[in-house]
């Protein structure tokens, strides 16, 4: 995580964070890490390109079925897992990822405890997680930051990447490079600071700076945004 912005861009991150905080308020997720890592891992694989309500219900159904014994899910057929999580997008693919990933983790840790990741360097923990199907840079960072691992890493999804690009903070880079730049620059930030910034920027991307329309006149960042549309658009 050595890649950093220059001082001006670091100042931009601080300004964006404070401006969005003043406008949107503190997100609930900032208050502390949430679920244990294996729950975050399973939930994050299920959640890809799926509405939050649907993915959460699918996770709850799977958790209820296995009663928190992930060995049972690892031993299930892909078809049976698909039946449980069937309302999410691409359920068959996610079911295959879940089965393979849980089987692999069980070989490493029979109780599915992956707390050891918290003692690893950020890049090493991310690389370990990304060995498994369905876990890319965004999911790996979510497991590391949002779970009880509580690691200082920035989560970049498509909404966050779009806002950072339009604002002018990054060029046309991928999610992992954007993650590295923000994480490597904000060395004084705690895990909760990265959670807050992620949630605030994501909310802006979902509600104002959307993929189909940048509502610049409603955006609290518009006055400093390098990619803002001309007045009157």
The pTM of this model reads: 0.91
Q: What domains, with CATH codes, occur in the chain?
A: 7-27+154-224 (1.10.1670.10), 37-146 (1.10.340.30)
Give 208-220 pLDDT, tens digit per residue: 999 999 999 999 9
- Helical packing angle, 191-207 and 175-185, nearest 10°: 130
pLDDT band (50, 70, 90) for residue 7: very low
Q: What is the mean pLDDT of the segment spanning 125-130? A: 97
Mean pLDDT value across the chain: 93
Q: What is the mean pLDDT of the segment spanning 157-173? A: 94
**DSSP category for residue 131:** T
């Amino acid at each position: 995580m050595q890649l950093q912005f220059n001082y001006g861009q670091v100042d931009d991150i601080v300004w964006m964070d404070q401006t969005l905080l003043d406008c949107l308020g503190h997100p609930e997720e900032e208050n502390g890490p949430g679920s244990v890592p294996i729950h975050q891992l399973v939930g994050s694989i299920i959640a890809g390109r799926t509405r939050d309500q649907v993915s959460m219900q699918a996770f709850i159904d799977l958790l209820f079925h296995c009663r928190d014994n992930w060995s049972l899910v690892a031993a299930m057929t892909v078809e049976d897992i698909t039946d449980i999580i069937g309302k999410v997008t691409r359920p068959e693919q996610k079911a295959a990822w879940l089965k393979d990933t849980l089987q692999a983790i069980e070989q490493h840790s029979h109780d599915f405890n992956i707390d050891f990741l918290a003692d690893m360097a950020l890049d090493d923990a991310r690389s370990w997680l990304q060995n498994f199907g369905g876990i890319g840079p965004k999911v790996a960072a979510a497991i590391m930051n949002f779970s009880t691992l509580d690691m200082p890493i920035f989560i970049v999804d498509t909404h966050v990447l779009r806002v950072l690009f339009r604002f002018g903070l990054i060029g046309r880079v991928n999610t992992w490079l954007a993650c590295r730049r923000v994480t490597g620059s904000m060395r004084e930030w705690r895990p909760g600071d990265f959670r807050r910034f992620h949630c605030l920027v994501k909310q802006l991307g979902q509600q104002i700076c959307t993929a189909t329309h940048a509502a610049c006149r409603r955006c609290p960042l518009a006055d400093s945004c390098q990619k803002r549309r001309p007045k009157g658009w």
